[in-house]
Amino acid sequence: MDSRSGFRAVCLLVLITILVGREAQADRLDLIQKRGTLIVGVKSDYPPFGMRDTHGRLVGFEPDLAAELARRLGVSLQLLAVTSTNRLQRLEEGAVDVVIATLGDSPQRRQIATLVEPGYYASGATVVAPPTPRLSSWMDLRGKKVCATQGAYFNRPMAQRFLLDLQIFNGTRDARLALRDGRCVAWLYDDTSIAGLLADPESANYQTPLPSMMISPWAIALSAKEQGSRLEQMISGMVADWHRSGWLIEMEKRWGIKPSHYLLEMRDLWSRRKPDGGLLCTRLDNGQWPAACRHKLLLRSDEVGGIEHLGLLLKEQTGLNVTIIHDAYDRTLFLQGLWITLQLMAACISGSLIVGCLGALAAESGLPGMRAGVRLSAALGRMTPPLLLIYLVFFGVGHIIVSRFGWTFDGASIVIVCLSTYTGCAIVSALLEAVSVLREQKPGFRLGWRELPQALRLAYAAVVASLVNVVKATGMASVIAVPELVSAATAIVAEQGNPEVMMNVLMITYFLLVTTVVQIFNYLERRIPNLGQH
């Protein structure tokens, strides 16, 4: 009997193993339909996207999405509470069929799960802080203790980018309590969740003083083996329909969520039509959506062409994330910054020469006291740091003029005036020294318009050095929000987290600009003697 019982047990174990293996290999959609129930993992601590009502039931924006999925599949719905820490684990274990739990789409997560495109919502990283710490920029948090929730996709890149001392907690409740108790100066979390937190009367005095960073779409997740499956294709089509119909926007209104720019942009994108009248976002022969309808950060080089292909290929082969090549928005931002920088350079060079030449001519005009007055003004102008001068005019004098007279001045104009004045004062001094030398060579020499080229030729080295410096100094315009090259590069770094790449690009760009300016002045140097002969 013992041997027979053992043999039967072994046979039963083999049979169970075969049945489980077949079930694991079966199409997930078939399993859901045979079971008659769709099991979806949702958050229970993320109001209003996922929470429990007074009866303990899971409700919210994402449970409503799960209910609509089940309705379209023609099955009942079972909701299971998951957290940021265990949501993908529950999916891989097979405890849930689908996860709809504020999951940000990223290349790293695509390696361990199937993330459905398009995304159904989006969020970024920001901080909530008590009113006492004064935070004006992310750099104010450098080296300080910041609470964070385990599993958030932005924890590591934000800590690396801004050198945050993250205090990681298992859930939002613990992080919130730690912030309340002063264990950290701020709490790093999704801006959508923080918006719900601030609606709580207990958090009425808290604030979100910093702009959101690392905007990421939220994706419905399936297990990794569901890549390209019927279930993935069906859910993908459903989400696309939700965007086209505006159903997600209606759900957003239902739950009192602040209108999202992402949903408005997605409704426009997925409703857009081609010249022949067909929808722009329709599946290609390979089952994928067109590149124009996908999130740019998730594209591969083999999915795009042209300059984007080269940029993504460079990133994949070398790890260099030169987003100004493969990202149209960053490329446009950088080129616009370059164009503004070129305008600032040309205007500051011209303005400096005008101030310098007019100042030297005024000093040599022979009017009583003019020479001493110009020299004194030039000395004061040279001793005033240009950055201080910009701040003084923009925030000091500018504030007085705006508050009293209502006149406003463009930031770029203020930068041009300040840098031209500073550099022009140096040119005045250089020209007056040249005049002194010429007067020793030619007694009775007097500076006038016809003699100006001779003075410029003699003072060439000092004048060009001053003009090269003003070319470099145009980067100061970023301090008063002029969107020039430094400002554009900083904005790209803040969003993409590629400081090493962008700072090298910025250095090379400025090197080329300065070299070009020097070559232009070398050419003019050869022309000035001819001008002086007329």
Beta-ladder partners of 190: 125
Q: Which pLDDT belongs to residue 529?
A: 56
Q: Are 476 and 386 in contact (CB under 8 A)?
A: yes
Alpha-carbon torsion, ordered 184, 187, 188, 191, to 10 deg: -170
Q: What is the largest CA-CA distance in the chain?
A: 132
Pick the closest to residue 311 from 300, 295, 302, 322 (CA basis): 322
Q: Which pLDDT belongs to residue 359?
A: 92
Q: Which two tokens stand for residue 8?
A: 């039967």
pLDDT > 90? residue 163: no
Q: Are 79 and 42 in contact (CB under 8 A)?
A: yes
Q: Which pLDDT belongs to residue 3?
A: 54
Q: Can you tell me the mean pLDDT for 51-67?
A: 95
Q: At 464, is the pLDDT very low, low, confident or very high (cuts 50, 70, 90)?
A: very high
Alpha helices for 207-305 (secondary structure H): 230-245, 247-254, 261-271
Q: Which pLDDT belongs to residue 18?
A: 44
Alpha-carbon torsion, ordered 18, 20, 22, 23, to 10 deg: 160
Q: Where are the beta strands (DSSP E) in 408-448?
A: none
Q: Which pLDDT belongs to residue 2?
A: 54
Higher pLDDT, 169 or 345: 345
pLDDT > 80? residue 427: yes
Q: Which pLDDT belongs to residue 157?
A: 81
Task: Report the chain's mean pLDDT, rounded to a whole number.
Answer: 85
Q: Which pLDDT belongs to residue 67?
A: 97
Looking at the chain, the whole-number percentage of residues with pLDDT higher than 90 is: 40
Q: Can you tell me the mean pLDDT for 375-404?
A: 83
What is residue 223's three-state secondary structure? strand
pLDDT > 90? residue 223: yes
Buried b or exposed e, range 380-408, using 16+ CB within 10 angstroms: ebeeeebeebbbebbeeebeeeeeeeeee
Long-range own/partner contacts, residues 434-438 (CB < 8 A, 24 or more apart) = 434/458, 434/459, 435/360, 435/364
Q: Are 99 and 43 in contact (CB under 8 A)?
A: no
Q: Can you tell me the mean pLDDT for 54-66?
A: 95
pLDDT > 90? residue 44: yes
Q: At 35, is the pLDDT very low, low, confident or very high (cuts 50, 70, 90)?
A: very high
> CA distances (Å), 355 to each of 93, 377, 422, 429, 470, in order?
74, 12, 9, 11, 13
Q: Which pLDDT belongs to residue 469?
A: 93
Q: Can you tell me the mean pLDDT for 406-421?
A: 86
User: Residue 113 is inside which H or E element, if any?
Assistant: strand 113-115
Q: Which amino acid, one-letter code, is at 524? A: L
Which domains, from first to last, does the chain contain?
35-117+220-298 (3.40.190.10), 122-216 (3.40.190.10), 328-532 (1.10.3720.10)
Q: How far apart are CA 514 and CA 510, in angstroms?
A: 6
Cis, peptide link before residue 48, omega less than 30° from 0: yes
φ, ψ dihedrals at 369, nearest 5°: 75, -5
Q: Which pLDDT belongs to residue 409?
A: 74
Q: Are 447 and 467 in contact (CB under 8 A)?
A: no
177-205 pLDDT, tens digit each: 888 888 899 999 888 777 667 767 777 68
Q: Which pLDDT belongs to residue 55?
A: 93
Rounded to a whole number of angstroms, the distance between the first and last alpha carbons of the chain is 125
Q: Can you tell me the mean pLDDT for 387-414?
A: 80
Q: Which pLDDT belongs to residue 302?
A: 65
pLDDT > 90? residue 296: no
Q: Which pLDDT belongs to residue 510?
A: 94
Q: Which pLDDT belongs to residue 279?
A: 92
pLDDT > 70? residue 81: yes
Q: Can you tell me the mean pLDDT for 432-439?
A: 90
Q: Which pLDDT belongs to residue 171?
A: 77
Q: At 273, is the pLDDT very low, low, confident or very high (cuts 50, 70, 90)?
A: very high
Q: Which pLDDT belongs to residue 528?
A: 58
Q: Can you tell me the mean pLDDT for 281-293?
A: 86
pLDDT > 50? residue 531: no
474-522 pLDDT, tens digit each: 988 887 768 889 888 877 776 676 888 999 999 999 999 999 999 998 8
Q: Which pLDDT belongs to residue 299?
A: 67
φ, ψ dihedrals at 267, nearest 5°: -60, -40
Q: Are 239 and 127 in contact (CB under 8 A)?
A: no
| Span of 97-106, 133-142, 406-415, 491-500 with lowest mean pLDDT | 491-500
